Structure 1
Amino acid sequence: MNATVNILTEIPETLHESLKKYLETHPDWDQNRVLTAALSLFLLQNGDSDRYAARVYLETLFQKC
């Protein structure tokens, strides 16, 4: 991935708790990696099949930590 930007957003507390539990059991993932994968997958499924979103999704999914 090239340049990055910061996004500040609010999510439901229950979703945050689920994310924390996931991250506790998957130490090779972090909050940024999960959100990047989720957003890029959402754009792939609901957007115009953007090749860049596909690349970001695959790079994030298979990134070595």
Structure 2
Amino acid sequence: MKTNISILAEIPEELHESLKTYLDSHPDWDQDRVFTSALSLFLLQNGNSATPDASRCYRQAARVYLESLFRHTA
């Protein structure tokens, strides 16, 4: 089952402007897709797979990351 969780986060104004510029020039991306991709990549880069649970979480983050990168809008 796929569950979505809403996150409210404050980001620096400079980052917000960069995000707006990126989204304006990449209409197939939206804010949710960018944040999903960025968060899953962060977890992949900073996680470990030393235990069975951590390994499962790592694989799930990898799946979410790849799905966010290769999702195509109809």
TM-score by shorter chain over 0.5 = yes
Structure 1 unaligned blocks of 5 or more: none
Q: Deviations over 1:20-63 (max 9, x none)?
A: 00000000000000000000000000012500000000000000
Structure 2 unaligned blocks of 5 or more: 50-57
Q: State the 4+ residue runs in structure 1 displaced beyond 4 angstroms.
A: none
Q: CA deviation at 1:3?
A: 1.0
Q: Percent identity?
A: 69
TM-score relative to the length of structure 2: 0.84
- Structure showing greater radius of gyration is 2
Equivalence for 2:63: 55
What's the C-alpha RMSD, in Å, of the aligned pairs? Answer: 1.2
TM-score relative to the length of structure 1: 0.95
